[in-house]
Amino acid sequence: MPEKLPQLDRDTLRQWSVVSYPSLVKELCSLFIGPELIPRDDLNDLIDRAFSRFRHKEVVHLSRLRNGLNVLELWHGVTYAFKDLSLCCATQFLQYFLEKRKKHITVVVGTSGDTGSAAIESVQGAENVDIIVLLPKGRCTKIQELQMTTVLRENVHVFGAEGSSDELDEPIKAVFADVAFVKEHSLMSLNSINWSRVLVQMAHHFFAYFRCAPTLDLHPPPPVEVVVPSGGAGSLAAGFIAQKMGLPIHLVAAVNYNDIIHRTIQRGDFSLSEAVKPTLASAMDIQVPYNMERIFWLLSGSDSQVTRALMEQFERTRSVSLPKELHSKPSPLLSGSRLRSQVPGGRAGCWADPG
Ligand SMILES: *Cc1c(COP(=O)(O)O)cnc(C)c1O
């Protein structure tokens, strides 16, 4: 993430408000990926290629429900997870640089479902990439397990492991901590703190805003509330960065029983609960939302020292009480809400639990 965020003026917002979703992604990426890294024509081609297998002609679609409520349909990719959108772009960028440098890498991913399927889909058949996916046996949904285990490509390697996805993270963490091993085998991960994924996800917020805002001619432009189902807080961080660039959105983080983001925003309680609680929304069953680090950095006025101290304390004690400035309540820009979805086996349903 760059030290200083670009600021968008009203004219830019107005221009962006009438373009397609892929064009928005191109405009956004070009602000952060200069032509010395990827020339604009190449960047456009990579992004077009990334979205070429999506089922909806607009790629992303805003559905209008009743009473001003809208749903952003981010599920038109091959695996139906919104992660298809950002992972397809991230792996196009990755392959671009690998081809240029004549290199090969092996992506290692631990997953409870959505990330694994989407990561496999985005690199299956790629020449310079192998992918190893580790999944907790019996804990992914059936359809996702099938999505992962039925891809017949030489560069895709999928393994089932005993235990929960948190337990699975331990050996993966140990592998990546062994710097010499990682270098020798050219390993990389593609998890939700990957900056290019967050970057592409910013486009979701812009797209939603432009389709929902009644007009851009008011001073200031009207705000739009965006409710973000959150787990690792990648989408939330993307929205927060978009907001800092000048997009007038109000973010609401929605979580399930695994509510660390909610507690952090509401009362500065950035602490682990005892264990991950399985819910129907397994992609949100996350204990440690690492992208909160980006949000802390922005809330602290880009103070890297404060942010690092917070994260180091969290690594040590698994529990941090945030200073007041970082969770001013009620925050005009960011709020949290816990949605309780029942655990598998129960009747599907959820209810809101604000505050
Ligand atoms: C990944 C995922 C989430 C959580 O997204 P974050 O950006 O990590 O907060 C929520 N819902 C679904 C369906 C997902 O696939």
223 lies in the same domain as 335? yes
136 found inside a domain: yes
89 found inside a domain: no
Q: Is the pLDDT assigned to residue 303 strictly greater than 60? A: yes
219 lies in the same domain as 340? yes
Sign of CA dihedral 93, 96, 101, 107: positive
d(CA 149, CA 160): 9
List, for residues 180-235, the tens digit of each pLDDT value.
999 999 999 998 889 999 999 999 999 999 999 988 888 888 999 999 999 999 99
Q: Is the pLDDT assigned to residue 330 strictly greater than 50? A: no
98 found inside a domain: no
243 found inside a domain: yes
Q: Is the pLDDT assigned to residue 331 strictly greater than 60? A: no
Boundary (domain end) residue, out of 191, 225, 250: 191
| Token pair belonging to 255 | 């979580």
- Mean pLDDT for 159-164 is 90
92 found inside a domain: no
55 lies in the same domain as 73? yes
**CA-nearest residue, atom 8 of ligand 1:** 232
Q: Peptide bond preceding 330: is omega within 30 degrees of 0, i.e. cis?
A: yes
Is ligand 1 within 6 A of the CB of residue 279?
Answer: no
Q: How confident is the model at residue 140 (pLDDT cuts 50, 70, 90)?
A: confident
List, for residues 67-106, the tens digit of each pLDDT value.
989 999 999 999 999 999 999 999 999 999 999 999 999 9
235 lies in the same domain as 284? yes
Q: What is the DSSP string of 51-88?
A: TTT-SSTTSSEEEE-STT-EEEE---STTSSTHHHHHH
220 lies in the same domain as 328? yes
186 lies in the same domain as 261? no
- Mean pLDDT for 262-273 is 92
Atom of ligand 1 nearest to the CA of 231: 9
Is ligand 1 within 6 A of the CB of residue 59?
Answer: no
pLDDT at 219: 85
- Mean pLDDT for 263-285 is 88
CB 112 within 8 A of CB 139: yes
pLDDT at 282: 82
Q: Is the pLDDT assigned to residue 19 strictly greater than 50? A: yes
C-alpha 172, offset from chain centre: 20
Average pLDDT, the chain: 89
Q: Where is pLDDT greater, at 260 or 326?
A: 260
d(CA 48, CA 43): 9
Distance 279 CA to ligand 1 centre (A): 13
- Mean pLDDT for 338-353 is 39
Q: How confident is the model at residue 31 (pLDDT cuts 50, 70, 90)?
A: very high
CB 289 within 8 A of CB 260: yes
pLDDT at 154: 97
Boundary (domain end) residue, out of 191, 224, 244: 191
pLDDT at 112: 78
Active site residue 183: no
Q: Is the pLDDT assigned to residue 62 strictly greater than 50? A: yes
Is ligand 1 within 6 A of the CB of residue 77?
Answer: no
125 lies in the same domain as 5? no
d(CA 1, CA 203): 16
Amino acid at the residue 21: Y
d(CA 218, CA 240): 22
Atom of ligand 1 nearest to the CA of 192: 8
- Name beta bridge partners: 337: 254, 354
| Token pair belonging to 293 | 């680090």
213 lies in the same domain as 240? yes
Segments in the chain forming alpha helices (H): 10-16, 21-32, 40-50, 83-101, 114-123, 142-149, 165-177, 179-184, 195-212, 234-244, 260-267, 292-299, 304-317
129 lies in the same domain as 218? no
pLDDT at 324: 84
> With pLDDT > 90 as the criterion, what percentage of the chain qualifies?
72
pLDDT at 283: 85
Q: Kindly provide the b/e burial profile for residues 272-284, where b requires at least 16 CB atoms within 10 angstroms of the residue's own CB.
A: eeeebebbbbbbb
pLDDT at 165: 75
The pTM score is: 0.91
Question: Structural domain of residue 57, as residue ranges?
Answer: 1-81+195-355
Locate tokens 């200083």: which residue?
4
pLDDT at 274: 86
Q: Which of 26, 57, 83, 244 is catalytic?
A: 83
CB 350 within 8 A of CB 339: yes
Q: Is the pLDDT assigned to residue 310 strictly greater than 50? A: yes
What DSSP designation does 9 have? -
Q: Is the pLDDT assigned to residue 348 strictly greater than 70? A: no
What DSSP designation does 344 have? B
200 lies in the same domain as 175? no
17 lies in the same domain as 144? no
Boundary (domain end) residue, out of 157, 191, 225: 191
125 lies in the same domain as 169? yes
Distance 74 CA to ligand 1 centre (A): 11
Is ligand 1 within 6 A of the CB of residue 234?
Answer: yes
- Mean pLDDT for 28-48 is 98
pLDDT at 266: 87
279 found inside a domain: yes
Q: Is the pLDDT assigned to residue 343 strictly greater than 60? A: no
Is ligand 1 within 6 A of the CB of residue 235?
Answer: yes
Is ligand 1 within 6 A of the CB of residue 239?
Answer: no
164 found inside a domain: yes
Q: Is 216 exposed, middle or buried (0-12, 13-18, 19+ CB in 10 A)?
A: middle
**Which residues does 59 contact at the CB level (< 8 Å), separation at least 6?**
20, 21, 22, 51, 76, 85
93 found inside a domain: no
Atom of ligand 1 nearest to the CA of 234: 7
- Mean pLDDT for 339-353 is 37
Q: Where is pLDDT greater, at 326 or 239?
A: 239
Q: How many domains does the chain have?
A: 2
The CATH number of residue 134's host domain is: 3.40.50.1100
